[in-house]
Amino acid sequence: MKKFILLMISCSLYGATSMAQTSDEAVKKTINRLFDAMRNSDSVEILSVFTPDAIMQSIMNDKEGKTSLRKNQVQQFASAIGKMAKGAADEQIEFETIKLDGELAFAWTPYRFILNGKYSHSGVDAFCLVKLNGEWKIQYLIDTRRK
C-alpha cells in the first residue's frame, strides 16, 4: 500500500511539473513569435501575438538621467517594424523567469537589440500574458533601455 501511495504522489508531482513546463513552453513560443516576426518585418504576425487592447511602454533615461515612461501603440509599432528591411530589427532575448497562475503569465527577459546589424541598446522586457481561447497573448509589455 505504501508503494502505491508513493507511486501516486510521484505521478501527481510529475504531472504538475510536466504541465508547468508545457505552459512555460507555450508562453515562450508566443514571445518568440513576436521576435521572429520582428526579424521577418511581419506586422501581421506581430499584431497576432498581442491582445486587441494591449499596452506597450518603455522606461528611458535622458542625457541628464531623468527617467521617463513612454507609451507605444502596438499598431504603430507593428507598422514601423513592417516597413523595415527583413532582418533589420533583431531583438535577442534570454528567458530568465516565467511565472504562471492559471490564465496569467509573467516573463522577464533580458535583451540586446540589434538594428541594421549594429548594437543599438539593451535592457529587460517584462511581459504580462493572458491565455484567451487556449492561446497565450501579450497584454502588457514594458521594457527598460540603456546603451
Report how far residue 129's alpha carbon sits from residue 139's, in angstroms, rounded to the nearest whole number: 5
Q: The CATH number of the domain where 131 resides is what?
A: 3.10.450.50
Contact of 79 with 110, CB cutoff 8 Å: no
**Does residue 11 register a pLDDT over 70?**
no
* 12 in any annotated domain: no
* Cβ neighbour number for residue 32 with a 10 Å cutoff: 14
Q: Mean pLDDT in the chain?
A: 89
Contact of 106 with 95, CB cutoff 8 Å: no
* Residue 71: domain span: 24-144
Residue 73 DSSP one-character state: -
Share of the chain above pLDDT 70, in %: 86
Strand-strand pairing, 135-144 and 50-61 = parallel
**Does residue 9 register a pLDDT over 70?**
no
Q: What is the mean pLDDT of residues 13-37?
A: 77
pLDDT-derived band at 147 (thresholds 50, 70, 90) equals confident
Q: What is the mean pLDDT of residues 111-130?
A: 98
* 122 in any annotated domain: yes
Report how far residue 133's alpha carbon sits from residue 104's, in angstroms, rounded to the nearest whole number: 13
Domain count, the chain: 1
Higher pLDDT, 86 or 3: 86
* 33 in any annotated domain: yes
- What pLDDT, on the 0 to 100 scale, is given for residue 18? 40
- What pLDDT, on the 0 to 100 scale, is given for residue 12? 46
Closest of 75, 77, 81 to residue 39, by C-alpha = 81
* 131 in any annotated domain: yes
Say what the pTM is.
Answer: 0.84
Contact of 90 with 113, CB cutoff 8 Å: yes
**Does residue 42 register a pLDDT over 60?**
yes
Higher pLDDT, 8 or 39: 39
Contacts of 66 (CB under 8 A, 6+ apart): none
* 17 in any annotated domain: no
Report how far residue 145's alpha carbon sits from residue 9's, in angstroms, rounded to the nearest whole number: 45
Left, alpha or beta for 64 (phi > 0: left; psi -120 to 50: alpha)?
alpha
* 3 in any annotated domain: no
* 32 in any annotated domain: yes
* 50 in any annotated domain: yes
Residue appearing with cell numbers 527617467: 67
**Does residue 19 register a pLDDT over 80?**
no
